[in-house]
Structure 1
Amino acid sequence: MQSSLKPQSAACSGHSAVIPPHKGTWVPLYRHLGPCSPAAASTCAAKARPPPSLADLLRQDQLRVDHIHRRLSSSSEGIRVSKQAGPVKEPVRSEVIHLHDQPVIQVTIGSERKTSAGGGQQSQAAGVVQTVVLDTASDVPWVQCHPSASATDITSSSSYDPARSATYTALACNSAACAELGRLYRGACVNNHCQYRVPIPSSPSLSSSSGTHAEAKQGEEGSLDNATAGVMALGGGPESLVSQTAATYGSAFSYCIPATESRQPGFFVLGGSGDPSAGAGYVVTPLLRYARVPTFYRVRLLAIAVDGQQLNVTPSVFAAGSVLDSRTAITRLPPTAYQTLREAFRSRMAMYREAPPQGNLDTCYDFTGAFLVMVPRIALLFDGNAVVALDRQGILFHDCLAFTSNSDDRMPGILGNVQQQTMEVLYNVGGGSVGFRRGAC
């Protein structure tokens, strides 16, 4: 599926989106639960359900992590995944399932169809502005279509209607695009229409999204109200937006996720310079891939520094690398590295009152009455002498250290979106590098 990426209204409490410093097609990027979210600004805001609890968010986050680890484990690339990352025996049950506070953008799906009526031509508006989640660890883009027989955890009040779109084409079961779905994403064949199936690990009430695999060629901008229903897949597989648009935009994209409480949107760029080494302010590290699971983008974390002092962790602890993921919230580290980081962090936070753990976040504080909170500086050191100093908002999450551990040092780490916020992350997929630029939004 391809869609037009045209900037929508960027206003949020009088502020406009930060304009990216390089060429490319771009749109404002929001936090789904943030103050600038399109969902928060919709006419249904008054009827909006309450946000998920921190416990629900962390449980859903772990489901996402388990899904990534299982996929890597099944690839037979020598990656170890402990039994704790296996299928969840007791799914998390919640009366209402929400998205995490994940990065979302608005895109226009479809175009208008010309119809003849009464001797003249009339236009049926079929383009619909959808709010979709940015996902760097999946390959098949999908949106909620009309009518929908079941609800998802990404609900929609205005879904895309293929019957009214002049740009929609269902793909045949024997098409090359259908074959590219592979065993993981390919569903049944219905009326010679190729069916897809995409796992949704963060939704305990819905195990997957399924439907007709189709094309929606870029068309004119639609005029219908926005919706929140879909995933913009940016992984390395052949069906992802990055692969589909490589000839037009080059194999490059970037995003900047705004801070949690920011009232100014970030941005998502498709295309652009593509080469972070050519721009000022970027630190660059090699982009690595898994041969059997090209979906995931991986970087090599070598060390961690706290207040400028590098932690005493053997480099081999980080040998499995770290997956870059825009939807996982909390960064996962090898246990040995996490325990060393936690010890260093706690020693520098000894003047503050400790608070009970929150889920798998075990280093929490009660800042009640604290006039000023001084948080230790944390920097991640990547291959290529790339030193990425985290924003303060990427260090504490709900007053807890915003890191947790895998259950085994041999499992790949995951660099989550809490640590990525306020910096531009530029994926030069074709050139094999990743750039980080601090303070970009």
Structure 2
Amino acid sequence: MKVSSLQPMLLLIILSSSCCLSANAGARDHHELQRFMVVPTSSLKHIPEDATCSGHKVKPSNSTAWVPMNRPHGPCSSTSSRASEDMGIDVDDMLLWDQLRTSYIRTQLSTDVGSVGAGIPIIARSTTVSNRDYTPSSTASVGTNSGTSKSIQKSDQTTTNEHQDAVSQTVVVDTSSDIPWVQCLPCPIPQCHLQKDPLYDPAKSSTFAPIPCGSPACKELGSSYGNGCSPTTDECKYIVNYGDGKATTGTYVTDTLTMSPTIVVKDFRFGCSHAVRGSFSNQNAGILALGGGRGSLLEQTADAYGNAFSYCIPKPSSAGFLSLGGPVEASFKFEYTPLIKNKHAPTFYIVHLEAIIVAGKQLGVPPTAFATGAVMDSGAVVTQLPPQVYAALRAAFRSAMAAYGPLAASVRNLDTCYDFTRFPEVKVPKVSLVFAGGATLDLEPASIILDGCLAFAATPGEESVGFIGNVQQQTYEVLYDVGGGKVGFRRGAC
């Protein structure tokens, strides 16, 4: 306790009452710890300069069917070169992409059209999925079952029909799209984009088969994803348009998907892409779609894995995972909230927030303010709240952070930013998201502040659906138990 600045009489009182005052100070300190977190300023950067990969911290809840997953930028990424241009993420560009993505998803929900997705991935390692700016990715393989547990592979064969090692494919994990795809030969540049992994070659796979026109699987694409038929080969064609201007088109096919030694999906339907529009950056091979609609990985594995999957989005310096199926051990404790599905747009997973707590105090907004719900999305970056709720959160956060004022310039739609360069450490108010049913996300500092800014934004209007971004989801295992009609959260899973 500092006393040098106190007046002499007050100093005498403190000395004579030291036993009682120190106890009260301890109580106050404990109360402060319940309301705030003191962290080094460097830890609030998206990727600290001295970051190293710490690997997996906790075993996945379903340890029998999972693959590693990591952020595309950072020391744990297989696609990151650690070069300055790779590690230096432009947050402004990332947030612009985020706005385009979430705006398009709102369009789909309001017009009852197909799905969206792609762009910022989460990288899983047995099914490699990588994200453009901030989301994680995984690796998988299509073809033979000889792939490693760290990538998605497709099986290739020599002309003598002798199996070679499967070809790993790094793909973006996307919970808001339904058609998985990877780039396939022939795939000339610039119709296709550059990727780190070898291109999937259908000619080298003994298990590859194009889906014929008129088949149930082709008809299932409907008007949203169907792109006619090949006039010479009677092969089904697909097309997927994404909200940020990207698109992919090619042949709809099947092959054996190997995500790990324990996750093998025969006759896996996916898009064999021969052309893309826009830049699918980070040199990923395609998209692993996990939406709730027809054709997604979830739909294709529902019988085998109980219509459920989970993931843990890690911080850049840690490794996460993607898991098929629900928890297999009762010791893993999840908190659950009801899952709401829009029957006209089944791709999307919607949940309801009920309250937000900042520095130990619940925001004074009525429950009706959360009525529009929020999309749980692997690709959305920051959480978006109805304007009334966001205004209350912003006011409470700014009040708690008054010592770090004045505010710095806004970054895109993040309007509560600070210059922390003068401070070796920062006292961050605790923030908790409380969902219907009582499930609570207690956020870590890096899930509250993104590169100096409050990592929340307002939706375009009070009636606009919100989003739970991957910044807030990170380090939690998020379980999409579609069969059980609920979403679960397990803290500290990666």
* Bigger Cα Rg: 2
Same fold (TM over 0.5): yes
**Per the alignment, in what secondary structure is the counterpart of residue 472 of structure 2?**
helix
Displacement of 1:318: 1.0
The whole-number CA distance in structure 2 between the counterparts of 1:351 and 1:185 is 52
Q: Any residues of structure 2 matched to 1:276-425 within 5 Å, and which?
A: 280-353=332-405, 354-425=407-478
**Per the alignment, in what secondary structure is the counterpart of residue 418 of structure 2?**
strand
Displacement of 1:124: 5.1
Q: Any residues of structure 2 matched to 1:140-219 within 5 Å, and which?
A: 140-149=179-188, 150=190, 155-190=195-230, 191-202=233-244, 204=245, 207-218=246-257
State the match for 2:4 in structure 1.
none
Corresponding pairs, count: 392
Displacement of 1:391: 1.8
2:90 partner letter: S
State the match for 1:55 in structure 2.
92
Confirm or deny: 8 A CA contact 1:23 1:271 kept in the other structure. no
Over 3 Å counting, the alpha-carbon distance change for 1:144 and 1:48 in structure 2 is farther
1:305 partner letter: I
State the match for 1:86 in structure 2.
none
**Per the alignment, in what secondary structure is the counterpart of residue 29 of structure 1?**
strand
Over 3 Å counting, the alpha-carbon distance change for 1:50 and 1:23 in structure 2 is closer
Q: Does 1:40 align with 2:93?
A: no
Confirm or deny: 8 A CA contact 1:255 1:425 kept in the other structure. yes
Confirm or deny: 8 A CA contact 1:127 1:165 kept in the other structure. no
**Per the alignment, in what secondary structure is the counterpart of residue 248 of structure 1?**
helix
2:195 partner letter: T
The whole-number CA distance in structure 2 between the counterparts of 1:170 and 1:187 is 14
State the match for 1:257 in structure 2.
313
Confirm or deny: 8 A CA contact 2:400 2:429 kept in the other structure. yes
Confirm or deny: 8 A CA contact 1:18 1:265 kept in the other structure. no
**Per the alignment, in what secondary structure is the counterpart of residue 186 of structure 2?**
coil
TM-score (norm 1): 0.83
Identity of aligned residues (%): 44
Confirm or deny: 8 A CA contact 2:193 2:283 kept in the other structure. no
Q: CA offsets, 1:371-425, max 9 Å, x none?
A: 3201111111111122221122110011100000111111110111000001110
Confirm or deny: 8 A CA contact 1:378 1:390 kept in the other structure. yes
Q: Does 1:134 align with 2:173?
A: yes
Over 3 Å counting, the alpha-carbon distance change for 1:62 and 1:274 in structure 2 is farther
The whole-number CA distance in structure 2 between the counterparts of 1:100 and 1:172 is 36
- Please, what is the CA RMSD of the aligned residues? 2.5
Question: What 5-or-longer segments of structure 1 have no aligned partner?
Answer: 1-11, 77-97
The whole-number CA distance in structure 2 between the counterparts of 1:347 and 1:155 is 46
Displacement of 1:358: 0.6
Over 3 Å counting, the alpha-carbon distance change for 1:211 and 1:379 in structure 2 is same
Question: What 5-or-longer segments of structure 2 have no aligned partner?
Answer: 1-51, 114-130, 145-154, 262-281
The whole-number CA distance in structure 1 between the counterparts of 2:288 and 2:382 is 21
Displacement of 1:52: 4.6
The whole-number CA distance in structure 1 between the counterparts of 2:177 and 2:381 is 16
The whole-number CA distance in structure 2 between the counterparts of 1:46 and 1:251 is 40
**Per the alignment, in what secondary structure is the counterpart of residue 362 of structure 1?**
coil
Displacement of 1:212: 0.7
TM-score (norm 2): 0.74
State the match for 1:3 in structure 2.
none
Over 3 Å counting, the alpha-carbon distance change for 1:153 and 1:336 in structure 2 is farther
Q: Any residues of structure 2 matched to 1:46-85 within 5 Å, and which?
A: 51-75=88-112
